[in-house]
Structure 1
């Protein structure tokens, strides 16, 4: 009987999700002028808000929806937008997880002369998800600007799997949030993945997520070195704004963290190749970090894993334009050089890098 009830509830939940998505598609395709407030309130309420047509949040939703409809009606746009959980957030709320990263200092320290990379010898398409070395999409929550920690940990999870040949395991983002503040990070108020790698090299490694779970807020450091799973040697930082080097290392060594500027164009991303003329490419304007897990040279885009949950974008992933340093994505890219597994005698020789 319990199984029947569970299946019935699951079916109802699935039906509600399908209905919500269907309503959104119809709403966006027909245009805002064809609908009453009652129609809009049904969508608004489905996201957990009280159906008050006079509330400021509802008016914000209507304004954002109008922009989504306008965007999708433009045939020159390379990507589509849709209503999602961010559509209803105020600018102040959005700022909480768009924390400043400012990678200008990192960029200045990493301005090597561009090396000529022969991209013609690389695969036209790479997607590390297909190799089974990318963990599931996670969510940083709406009140903590910890994207840098999620990007760093996602990279570490993948490079651990690549180095050991084992299935990737989930490491602790909260350890970075709590413990890396002496490395120019600010917990829930921002940071850079490369600084997270530097901290891990200093600390002697990282714990797994089960031992040090994510809480979505700044806490006191509780790192237990006896529970370290793997060590990090250092951060490998891609040359400032060198997309060719980024592509080369992404193809040959594995996923790479990228940091860039997110603006309102990005929040309601649905699918397609994200481009924007409204974002900055300056390193001091970087405010979000994700993990690049692949690229498509023919389609001219990177494949990236976000940390906003699997109900955003394409099951938590998105494409972003390749070849133009879109929104500064090549300003301060990095990935970890993995050290040894702790208390493991079957260690491979450390990877060699250019």
Structure 2
């Protein structure tokens, strides 16, 4: 598992490094960008604290909270027992009482143990209290497929949480996304599900001088056009953005100019950016690692069909997704169950009706 994960990290680092050509930038891993956001927000606001399994003395299972316990102590960085329902409930109760907890799940696969606290307690209370009880809480941790961890530790919960009114759902891709969106999530008065990706933690991305400042915050609900194009719109989020970017490089060699949209936020969805892009390119491909049935791509496709953008399409909306099965453990079958850049290229050519 470790060697497979390291291979993916090296490959992603090489690809991200190719795009670091701007001046006045610094290469920062996603892990360190998240750590910066946590550090700055704990320091900025006395109500902010983080709790979860091994977040304090062990510096976090993935070292995202490294150094924070030594800096801020037991009251601000809290180790919990292995009981997701228990510590998620403590975090929700703290939010009810006016604190701003950051509840870390070692993996979002384990968040299913706390689903009642997330959906019934956190997501619905502001509505059920007629706006009298805000719930400023962040549920964060790695989501989706890692490497060699099989069916019970590889699930993508993006569509699950995006389905639920009352939650905001953020899916960062690179280091600027990670820092700017996490700071926005911590400052938001609503419960936020913050879906990171384990494979991306160790990948360095360029961060601008602005992004390295303490006051850098990205808006929730606003997508980013990573590359402008005219022939086809490719919409992706989280690690799927890397597939879209890799496909963009291959397509460019064949004279196909793709517009790449990094969603950043799944709920509220920035449909305006998608719609305006489709009106320009007349073609749409969505990319995600999750299952196809009732997925994010399916929702985007439905919203396109229900809007005026449908009249601008020259071909059906096509999706690139994970295969509709539980994740296999065997390396070759795992690879076969996940999307890759070749799938994106093939799908774009299909939607454009080119060989």
Shorter-chain TM range is under 0.3
Larger-Rg structure:
1
Question: What TM-score, normalized by structure 1, do the two folds share?
Answer: 0.27
Question: What TM-score, normalized by structure 2, do the two folds share?
Answer: 0.27
